[in-house]
Amino acid sequence: MPLITRIYLKSGLIFFVGALLLGIALQIDALAFTALVPLFWHMLMLGWITQIIMGVSLWMFPRRKKVESFKNQCWAWIAYLFLEIGLILRIITEPLILTSSLVVWEILLALSAILQFMAVVFYTLEIWPRVLSKEKLKRVRKKER
Amino acid sequence: MPTVSRWMIRISLIYFVLSAAIGMCLLLNKAYPFYPEIWKFLPIHIELMIFGWLIQFTLGTAYWILPRFLKNKARGNLGMAITIPILLNGGIWLVVLSSSIFNINSLAKIGRILELLSVVVFITLHWKRIVSYNVS
């Protein structure tokens, strides 16, 4: 299993535990802030399920570069970094934007929105050319030789 | 990768980007409220993310990757396989249209029925492919 997949999967598992802890918090009256509801869903759907799908597809889809390096997998690495930073910024800033009037939280929340979207775009750029038929894959491999 | 899988995966990636773009606008609107009506798009964001991206991508990948039949057609009836993305995407669009433009509840019901039928066809086609060919 390539390093990038291992990192996606382990990060996904951490978000899974985080989402479930948040789910428990939402059931406790003293901790159940409404701002936590979208966080719970995004940690579960984006941090856990989507991140696992991304990691496994980067490993299983055809035309995976055997030599692992940032250069060979740059879109996937950028997608990972943007997704993690975007999600973590969101977890910090989304509740704070309701409780604090500091402008910095608005800026960071907007940055988080852009980073999460860009992560999806970069992942798509990585995986789209790898959605190939057997025949096309043979032709591509022949060309590469 | 078979044609049905390629189509389903590519469509799911388009939905993924589209849904993420809607999500980005919703979150930006939280930081800098610029268009209160934007929350109308929340059901579309959820529908495209769950049915358009997650479910379609996993079904498309499963059609490609599950163990194939050793005799006859490797992945079963092609006609049935083609109906999976048609029913699923038809259902997604009906739900999206009903929640955004037309606001007709019966349209959403038909959409959900199409999504269910798509999953039923998927299960029918794949049930016998969930096997192990290892002989112990």
pLDDT attached to residue A122 = 97
List, run by run, the mean pLDDT of 10-residue segments along chain A (145 residues): 95 97 92 88 96 96 84 93 97 92 94 98 96 88 81
Distance, in Å, from the CA atom of A53 to the CA atom of A119, rounded to the nearest integer, reads: 14
Render each residue's pLDDT in chain B as its tens digit; 136 residues: 999 999 999 999 999 999 999 999 999 999 999 999 999 999 999 999 999 999 999 999 999 999 988 888 889 899 999 999 999 999 999 999 998 777 777 889 999 999 999 999 999 999 988 988 776 6
Mutate to test the interface with A, among B16, B54, B75 (most CBs of A within 10 A): B16
CB contact (8 A) between residue A116 and residue B27: yes
CB contact (8 A) between residue A106 and residue B31: yes
> Could you tell me the CA-to-CA distances from A67 to A62, A72, A78, A121, B7 in Å, in that order?
14, 7, 18, 24, 29
CB atoms within 10 A of CB A31: 11
- Whole-structure pTM value: 0.93
What are the chain A neighbours of B20 within 8 Å (beta carbons)?
116-117, 120-121
For residue range B75-98, what is the model confidence (pLDDT) as tens digits? 989 999 999 999 999 999 999 999
Is A125 near chain B, with CB under 8 Å? no
Q: What mean pLDDT is reported for chain B?
A: 93
What are the chain B neighbours of A113 within 8 Å (beta carbons)?
23-25, 27-28, 31
Please, are residues B81 and B40 in contact by the beta-carbon 8 Å criterion? no
In angstroms, what separates the C-alpha of B24 from chain A's closest C-alpha?
A: 5
pLDDT attached to residue B136 = 60
pLDDT attached to residue A144 = 77
